[in-house]
Amino acid sequence: MQYTGLGCTRLSMSRLCLGTMTFGWSADEQTSFAIMGAALHAGINFFDTADIYSSWIEGNKGGESEAIIGRWLKQRSRREIVIATKVRGVPVAHIALAWLLAQAVITSPIIGARTVAQLTELVGAVDLALADDEITRPNEVSRSF
């Protein structure tokens, strides 16, 4: 696995990040534990989560993935995991789409939705105006790949 530093911190995280959006709905707790164990074994120490994950599933309220990650971490003697979540009051999808819309070479990003609610949320991205540095920083990072 390749690793990179997080800004000017001492954190070293894997170049691949494990998204935990399936934990608590399409991946039950036992499967989620197995996925995190296999990811760690493969060298992935960077996990992404958000309390909105699985909130669209009937019977879930959101936060299921965080609860599963917490129970998994509680069983471990070492805490060598970097956990990221979403910040900045808008869905991450809005930021990603707004960044794409700011690119001169992209005419129209393609969106997909499984529900009307997801479509409604995605459409809101066109109203998000990113600051110059919120556009240039991801551009710089994407050029390094």
pLDDT at 42 over 90: yes
Mean pLDDT of 18-35: 91
Percent of the chain predicted with pLDDT > 70: 90
pLDDT at 35 over 90: yes
Rounded to whole angstroms, what are the CA distances from 115 to 61, 98, 123, 126, 130? 17, 21, 13, 19, 26
Residue 30 CA to residue 9 CA, distance in Å, equals: 33
Q: What is the pLDDT of residues 47-105, one digit of tens each?
A: 988 776 776 778 777 778 888 999 999 988 777 888 887 657 677 778 888 888 888 88
Residue 5 CA to residue 15 CA, distance in Å, equals: 9
Using left for φ > 0, alpha for ψ between -120 and 50, and beta otherwise, residue 13 falls in: beta
The domain locations on the chain are: 3-84, 92-143
Specify the amino acid at residue 104.
Answer: A
Kindly list the catalytic residues.
53
Mean pLDDT of 111-132: 84
How much is the pLDDT for 110?
85
CB of 69 within 8 A of CB of 21? no
